[in-house]
Amino acid sequence: MANGIQTSNGKAFEYACVIALNGSLSEYGKTEIVSSPQLETAKGLYENIEPKMKGSLDKAARAAVRVVKRLEPQLWNPEDNEPLYLSIQPDSAGIKGDVRDVLCVRKQNGWEIGFSCKHNHHAVKHSRLSDTIDFGKEWLGIPCSKEYFNTVVPLFEKLRSFRDSSKCAGKPMLWEKIPDKAEKYYKPILEAFMKELKRIADENKDIPAALIHYLLGRNDFYKVITEDSNRTTRIEAINISGTLNTNAGKEKSIAKVPILKMPTQFYHIGFKANSDNTVEVVCDEGWQISMRIHNASSKVEPSLKFDVQLISFPSSVFAQVEPWESEEDRRILRLNSYATGLNHLK
């Protein structure tokens, strides 16, 4: 249930970002929200959430737009490249390597930027392992070895037999019914995964960079993360190819968004301390990745899912935390709080 709410709020946040962009940028020139099934889905989720959450998403989105406007002059200086199209991408785009949720596009000059919208979490790509998934080929362009599959196939086949036999019995097998699931399945599968990743890196060039490209997608983007407990929005500029932060004629950004350096080597690939379900990958240039494997469903399935977190970026990454309220808004809130306190004393 929690994951379902998280997903719904995330989709609603995408729509909040679209209307925040439209509201802020329409005064500078023509904007157009592109109609699509995914836009209607996000709009429906946005309109049906409770008012307090909707207010939070709106403030979080407006905070993000304030920051990105300062970095992307083409948002507000159209130079006859109108309209500015605002759209939400389908989930299938992420499968193909484009992790951006919201797009801002000027078709006339081919300019575009995108937002990856996260509601209270920093996760990146959610990938799976199974007996039929060749992660080496899909992620890195290098097929996994027979030795890897010889190790993991029997484990996933065992899980498949649990699923199929329990279906026949009319009562699906649950993960909680499998004793020592981490020791029997998570740990040996992850050990095989780490061994294979090291082998691929030892035998091929540029694998650390290929892993980062896979996790972050093939397009530059702004990662926009709501942090409700702090009433702030965090904006991170993932600028690998150098497509962010471009000028609009004579108009320039007020801040420089550096191009991130890709890693060239793995320093460490191993289990997180005191964990049997999480792998840590440490690279040069400041990149560190956490990969926690888990069963995505309470029912046993012949696959496992990664929850991937980027623990650290290069020190050059542009990141800014923007309060939801302006300084004037916060001043009014403080005055109202003070007045409320005085009333309680009367």
Q: Where are the domains of the chain?
A: 2-119+217-261+318-329, 128-206+264-312
Looking at the predicted structure, is the pLDDT value of residue 37 above 60?
Answer: yes
**Reported confidence tier of residue 327, pLDDT bands at 50, 70, 90:** low
**Reported confidence tier of residue 98, pLDDT bands at 50, 70, 90:** confident
Q: What would the mean pLDDT of 112-120 be, rounded to a whole number?
A: 88
Cα 90 from Cα 93, distance rounded (Å): 6
Could you tell me which of 65, 94, 84 has the C-alpha nearest to residue 26?
Answer: 84
Q: What pLDDT sits at residue 287?
A: 96
Range from 28-32, 90-94, 112-116, 211-215 carrying the lowest mean pLDDT: 90-94
Q: What average pLDDT is seen over the chain?
A: 90
Could you tell me which of 73, 82, 326, 101 has the C-alpha nearest to residue 222?
Answer: 101
**Reported confidence tier of residue 1, pLDDT bands at 50, 70, 90:** very low
| Rg for the chain, CA atoms, rounded | 23
Cα 224 from Cα 122, distance rounded (Å): 9
Cα 344 from Cα 62, distance rounded (Å): 33
CB atoms within 10 A of CB 298: 10
Cα 149 from Cα 342, distance rounded (Å): 70
Cα Dmax for the chain: 78
Beta bridge partners of 322: 233
| Dihedral angle over CA of 4, 6, 8, 11, nearest 10 | -140
Amino acid identity at 115? F
Q: What pLDDT sits at residue 72?
A: 96
3-state helix, strand, coil in the chain (%, to 5): 45, 25, 35
